[in-house]
Chain A
Amino acid sequence: MSQFWKAWQKRKKTLQEKALHHHADRSMERVADKELSLEVDENIIMIEQELGRCDDLVVRRFRDKRGTDCAIVFLDGMVDRNVISEYIISYLSNPQIPDILPASNELESTDGLRQVIRNILSGSAVLMRDGDNKAYLNNTRGWDRRGVDEPQTESVVRGPRDGFCETLCVNSALVRFRLKDPHLRVRHMVIGRRTQTDVYVMYIEGLAYPPMVREVLARLEKINVDSILESGYIEQLIQDRRWSPFPQLQNTERPDKVVANLLEGKVAILVDGTPAALIAPAVFTQFYQSPEDYYERFYIATLLRFIRAISITIALLLPSLYIAFSSFHPEMIPSRLVIAMAAGRSTVPFPSLVEALIMEVAIEILREASVRLPGPIGPTIGIVGALVVGEAAVTAGLVSPVMVIIVALTTIGSFASPSYSAAISIRMLRFLVMLLAGMFGLYGIMLFLIVLLIHLSSLKSFGVPYMSPFSPLNLKGMKDVFIRAPHHLLRTRPTMFHIQDEIRMREEENREQAGR
């Protein structure tokens, strides 16, 4: 036994060492950090050696007004060509302009090869001159990008229509433009050994709980993967419980949502190359809260929250309740309905569990197919699938009409949740409840709910309990959970995120306003 223990320990140690070794193996660090030489040609050879055979690497040689040999190196397609020809090449060769540096808005100089390579790869144009061992890095980034568009997944009736796009600087500008707070802090990080993805961590100093910010930054620093292609990579790498089906970070494409969350003392993570921003920490209430709740009057906002909560419950439980009632507790259904249901089910050859599973799987297939299909065909599939197949299945006696209603309600219910990633966890768990209901009826459903409750109570997102403010009970926080209290009552920020500055609205000034 002890031998086994020792062997295990040894293995653990070697694995740890391997991980450490791995950590040092960042592809950028493999580039030799040589100093640049005085000769332009030599430098170009060094760069070409490091980048290997890259046919999109453009080297433009020219002679400036003093007669010095110069060269500009950049990657084709990643730069704005106008900037290079007008503000670098013609600017420098024009004898009427005395300047010897290009007129670009962002100019740095370096003498290290590694930084030169890094900047070329991220879209800078590098200017080098004979007799100067410095390289000048011009920010000429300008590739074709998608413009600011309305977000596809989180549309609102009232509220701003702009959503994040794939470019990090545009996204951070969208946040800045709404939040002109000098205390907004933006921390830049580069994650991904090979992709070298830029990541911004945003928070408001004085609102966000400093240990939480530190925790977010520390977890981001610990990430060591070769690629970050989407913020989902980061979300899954920094979440607290990796085996949980629930999202422990919120993601959104809406800048107004990010700003609102920053103002509640949360931390936002923006990732280059994706419109989905992450918000930490996340709590359970994200399942049914939408930014629109704060734009509309509070009565309708509260009502909508209730509707969403009901629709999530339906999405999770309705098929399993059908199974439990029809196969275990038919006495509970009102007698007229039970007769109607029995008549509908009389031709169905399967037990209700199988019937429900068939229909739920079918609707999931339809949903998946309509996501993949090109725009114009998508709705057709929906109509063909839902109407024709559903109707035909009932006529053929394969499923009962009640089942079709239930499946339709379930599917629509799962779309009512404002957060897509939260809704998919519900969609997934639905199948588990159905199986349990098929085994134990209502008892099975309750079994599932209690286990779910235990799991949710044990979840934490960056130190904030997932079920807050229900538990630990926070009566102040309850004002903005099920009901959305009117703005003049939401004077303080929710305290469950360890907010530093609680006051959101100053009472006296608003009284004056009202008095006028």
Chain B
Amino acid sequence: MGDQRGSISTWQLIAILISSIIGGAILTLPRTASAELQEVGWLGPIASGVIAFFPLMAMVYLSKQYPGLTFVEYGPLVFGGRRYPRLGNILNTPWMLMFLLFQFLNTAMVARGFGEIIVTSILLDTPLEAILLTLFLMVLYLCMHELEVLVRVNELLFPIMFVPIIIIPYVTINSANWENLLPLHIDSWQSLASTAFGTFMLYTGFELMMIYFGLAMPGSRISLVAWSGLSFTVVSYVLTTIAGIVVFGYEELQHLIWPTLEMVKTARRTGWILERLEAAFLTIWMASIFTTFGNMYYSMVYAIRLWLKKGIRFQRILALIFFIPMFYVSLWPQNIVEFFAFNEKLTAFCYLPTVFFPILLAVIQAIRSRFSQQAIENKKGGT
């Protein structure tokens, strides 16, 4: 069985990129963004989007330099060049491991966050373990299939991504108090920077493109994917944050665990078919969290499969093996406070594999290609 290279279209790449980024974090977003920036909290997602822009462009550059290769393959080539493949492998391995470790921890935390939301808001009597277990079983079922299935599932679930753009502004517009957004003034640039760095976790998921850009169909427009995916995400984040600030005001936001969910709760009208929407909203949003979680878990397993050049059977067994430690790690934080603290630590760690790594690769590649061009020019001059 082949690994189905060159089978993902531009549209599918956009779907994967956006579904991997947007997930459970949107439920806490208005609070985290406005914690320091207060009424201009909506600038936070924009600023962290700017941070995510650089590594994403680095990935686009690398994928254009090495079309049809994933970072698993081009990493050693960048580090070692074609002449020293072994050196490249040795230099690439720690980065590879760091990337996998981050995926592992992040996946576990996405699952945990999702379980917490379900347990605290709609299924109050269900144990957290039951939610996590069913979620993991669902992803295991996904991992039993080839890559094209993952791609199609993302494509089919993509319309759900429009929920924050369309539904949330619609349901909140009646309880909006627009004065909460004023004054339009940034108190300290420092707090903007710290919010940008602190909420950067919102954008994790884009690093998976280091794999999927390499599997794209020849001729697909990768930079279009990066641009549209990132701008779509920024817009939906900004809209959600604005909606949160407008409805609650930044002071009240700090006391809500899941502000976005509370926002949906405020929308209640008699005469609608459903009187309260939060369970329906969360159920639909669950699909988006599933794509984030599923993409991360699948990509982690798939990267290892590519790394060791194995087949689908290896992937299935590996997915089964990872299931146990993942379940364990996702239950590490004892309560929701510890969970948020753990996430903060993870945010600090995430810069290494998701931002620094692709930029480093791109810089080395840029230098390398300049030198090789010079060498070619020198040769030309010589002859």
Chain A: minimal CB distance from B174 (Å):
18
Instruction: Report the separation of the CA atoms of residues A446 and B134 in the bound assembly, to the nearest whole angstrom.
Output: 11
From known contacts A447-B138, A472-B12, infer whether A457 and B280 are also in contact, taking CB-CB under 8 Å: no
Chain B: minimal CB distance from A332 (Å):
5
Identify B123's interface contact among A332, A441, A454, CB under 8 A. Answer: A441
Chain A: minimal CB distance from B284 (Å):
8
Question: Which candidate, B147-155, B179-187, B199-207, B370-378, is the interface stretch facing chain A?
Answer: B147-155
B122 within 8 A of A: yes
Instruction: Report the separation of the CA atoms of residues A467 and B151 in the bound assembly, to the nearest whole angstrom.
Output: 12
Instruction: Report the separation of the CA atoms of residues A453 and B9 in the bound assembly, to the nearest whole angstrom.
Output: 20
In this complex, the member of A329, A450, A451, A467 whose beta carbon has the largest number of chain B beta carbons within 10 angstroms is A450
Q: Tell me whether chain A's interface is mostly helix, strand or loop, or mixed.
A: helix
Chain A: minimal CB distance from B146 (Å):
8
Instruction: Report the separation of the CA atoms of residues A451 and B135 in the bound assembly, to the nearest whole angstrom.
Output: 10
In the complex, which residue of chain A has the Cβ closest to the Cβ of B134? Answer: A447
B35 within 8 A of A: no
The A-contacting residues of B in range 220-238, CB under 8 angstroms, are none
In this complex, the member of A333, A441, A442, A443 whose beta carbon has the largest number of chain B beta carbons within 10 angstroms is A443
For residue A450, which residues in chain B have a CB less than 8 angstroms away from its CB? 138, 153, 157, 287, 290
Instruction: Report the separation of the CA atoms of residues A333 and B145 in the bound assembly, to the nearest whole angstrom.
Output: 38
A465 within 8 A of B: yes
Judging by beta carbons under 8 Å apart, are B123 and A473 in contact? no
Identify B156's interface contact among A328, A441, A471, CB under 8 A. Answer: A471
A244 within 8 A of B: no
Judging by beta carbons under 8 Å apart, are B272 and A467 in contact? no
In the complex, which residue of chain A has the Cβ closest to the Cβ of B125? Answer: A328
From known contacts A332-B276, A440-B134, infer whether A453 and B156 are also in contact, taking CB-CB under 8 Å: yes
For residue B271, which residues in chain A have a CB less than 8 angstroms away from its CB? 334
B118 within 8 A of A: yes
Instruction: Report the separation of the CA atoms of residues A465 and B323 in the bound assembly, to the nearest whole angstrom.
Output: 29
Judging by beta carbons under 8 Å apart, are A454 and B272 in contact? no
In the complex, which residue of chain B has the Cβ closest to the Cβ of A436? Answer: B134
The B-contacting residues of A in range 320-347, CB under 8 angstroms, are 328-329, 331-335
Instruction: Report the separation of the CA atoms of residues A335 and B274 in the bound assembly, to the nearest whole angstrom.
Output: 10
B338 within 8 A of A: no
Instruction: Report the separation of the CA atoms of residues A328 and B148 in the bound assembly, to the nearest whole angstrom.
Output: 36
Judging by beta carbons under 8 Å apart, are A457 and B283 in contact? no
Instruction: Report the separation of the CA atoms of residues A458 and B4 in the bound assembly, to the nearest whole angstrom.
Output: 14
Judging by beta carbons under 8 Å apart, are A471 and B152 in contact? yes
B178 within 8 A of A: no
In the complex, which residue of chain A has the Cβ closest to the Cβ of B272? Answer: A334
Judging by beta carbons under 8 Å apart, are A446 and B286 in contact? yes
Q: Mark B44-62, 1 if CB is under 8 A from A, else 0.
A: 0000000000000000000
Chain B: minimal CB distance from A80 (Å):
55
Judging by beta carbons under 8 Å apart, are A453 and B134 in contact? no
Instruction: Report the separation of the CA atoms of residues A447 and B293 in the bound assembly, to the nearest whole angstrom.
Output: 14
A306 within 8 A of B: no
The B-contacting residues of A in range 417-466, CB under 8 angstroms, are 440-443, 445-447, 449-451, 453-454, 457-458, 465
Instruction: Report the separation of the CA atoms of residues A454 and B131 in the bound assembly, to the nearest whole angstrom.
Output: 19
B11 within 8 A of A: yes
Judging by beta carbons under 8 Å apart, are B283 and A442 in contact? yes
**Which interface class (under 10, 10 to 19, 20 to 34, 35 or more) fits B?**
35 or more
The B-contacting residues of A in range 80-118, CB under 8 angstroms, are none
Judging by beta carbons under 8 Å apart, are A443 and B156 in contact? no
For residue A472, which residues in chain B have a CB less than 8 angstroms away from its CB? 9, 12, 152, 155
Judging by beta carbons under 8 Å apart, are A442 and B122 in contact? yes
Judging by beta carbons under 8 Å apart, are A471 and B155 in contact? yes
Identify B122's interface contact among A329, A334, A335, A473, CB under 8 A. Answer: A329
For residue B153, which residues in chain A have a CB less than 8 angstroms away from its CB? 450, 453-454, 457
Q: Mark B273-294, 1 if CB is under 8 A from A, else 0.
A: 1111101101110110010000
A470 within 8 A of B: yes
Instruction: Report the separation of the CA atoms of residues A457 and B145 in the bound assembly, to the nearest whole angstrom.
Output: 10
B120 within 8 A of A: no
Judging by beta carbons under 8 Å apart, are B270 and A335 in contact? yes
Instruction: Report the separation of the CA atoms of residues A333 and B275 in the bound assembly, to the nearest whole angstrom.
Output: 6
B40 within 8 A of A: no
For residue A440, which residues in chain B have a CB less than 8 angstroms away from its CB? 123, 126, 130, 134
For residue B126, which residues in chain A have a CB less than 8 angstroms away from its CB? 440
For residue A335, which residues in chain B have a CB less than 8 angstroms away from its CB? 270, 275
What count of chain A residues pass the 8 Å CB interface test? 27
Judging by beta carbons under 8 Å apart, are B11 and A473 in contact? yes
For residue B272, which residues in chain A have a CB less than 8 angstroms away from its CB? 334
Judging by beta carbons under 8 Å apart, are A465 and B152 in contact? yes
For residue A467, which residues in chain B have a CB less than 8 angstroms away from its CB? 152, 156
In the complex, which residue of chain B has the Cβ closest to the Cβ of A475? Answer: B11
Instruction: Report the separation of the CA atoms of residues A447 and B131 in the bound assembly, to the nearest whole angstrom.
Output: 10
In the complex, which residue of chain A has the Cβ closest to the Cβ of B277? Answer: A332
Chain B: minimal CB distance from A433 (Å):
13
Judging by beta carbons under 8 Å apart, are A443 and B141 in contact? no
Chain A: minimal CB distance from B15 (Å):
9
For residue A332, which residues in chain B have a CB less than 8 angstroms away from its CB? 274-277, 279-280
Identify A446's interface contact among B155, B270, B273, B287, CB under 8 A. Answer: B287
B359 within 8 A of A: no
Chain A: minimal CB distance from B322 (Å):
18
B142 within 8 A of A: yes
From known contacts A334-B270, A334-B275, A335-B270, infer whether A328 and B122 are also in contact, taking CB-CB under 8 Å: yes
Chain B: minimal CB distance from A460 (Å):
9
The A-contacting residues of B in range 72-87, CB under 8 angstroms, are none
Chain A: minimal CB distance from B14 (Å):
11
For residue B152, which residues in chain A have a CB less than 8 angstroms away from its CB? 457, 465, 467, 471-472
For residue B157, which residues in chain A have a CB less than 8 angstroms away from its CB? 450, 453
Identify B279's interface contact among A329, A449, A453, A465, CB under 8 A. Answer: A329
In this complex, the member of B148, B153, B157, B276 whose beta carbon has the largest number of chain A beta carbons within 10 angstroms is B153
For residue B274, which residues in chain A have a CB less than 8 angstroms away from its CB? 332-334
Q: Mark B207-224, 1 if CB is under 8 A from A, else 0.
A: 000000000000000000
Judging by beta carbons under 8 Å apart, are A457 and B149 in contact? yes
Q: Mark B137-175, 1 if CB is under 8 A from A, else 0.
A: 010011001101100110111000000000000000000
For residue B280, which residues in chain A have a CB less than 8 angstroms away from its CB? 332, 442
For residue A473, which residues in chain B have a CB less than 8 angstroms away from its CB? 9, 11-12, 155
Instruction: Report the separation of the CA atoms of residues A306 and B310 in the bound assembly, to the nearest whole angstrom.
Output: 45
In the complex, which residue of chain A has the Cβ closest to the Cβ of B130? Answer: A440
Chain B: minimal CB distance from A321 (Å):
10
Chain A: minimal CB distance from B323 (Å):
16
Chain B: minimal CB distance from A484 (Å):
21
Chain A: minimal CB distance from B81 (Å):
37
Known: A332-B276, A332-B280. 9 other contacts (CB 8 A): A331-B279, A334-B270, A442-B280, A443-B134, A454-B138, A458-B145, A471-B152, A472-B9, A473-B12
Task: List 25 contacting pairs A-B, 8 Å CB cutoff, sorted by A.
Answer: A328-B123, A332-B274, A333-B275, A334-B272, A335-B270, A335-B275, A440-B130, A443-B134, A443-B283, A446-B283, A446-B284, A447-B134, A447-B138, A449-B287, A450-B290, A453-B153, A453-B157, A454-B142, A457-B148, A458-B145, A471-B152, A472-B12, A472-B152, A473-B11, A473-B12
6 A-B pairs with the lowest CB-CB distances in the bound complex, closest first:
A457-B152, A471-B152, A442-B283, A471-B155, A458-B149, A329-B279
Q: Identify the A interface with B (CB < 8 A).
A: 328-329, 331-335, 440-443, 445-447, 449-451, 453-454, 457-458, 465, 467, 470-473
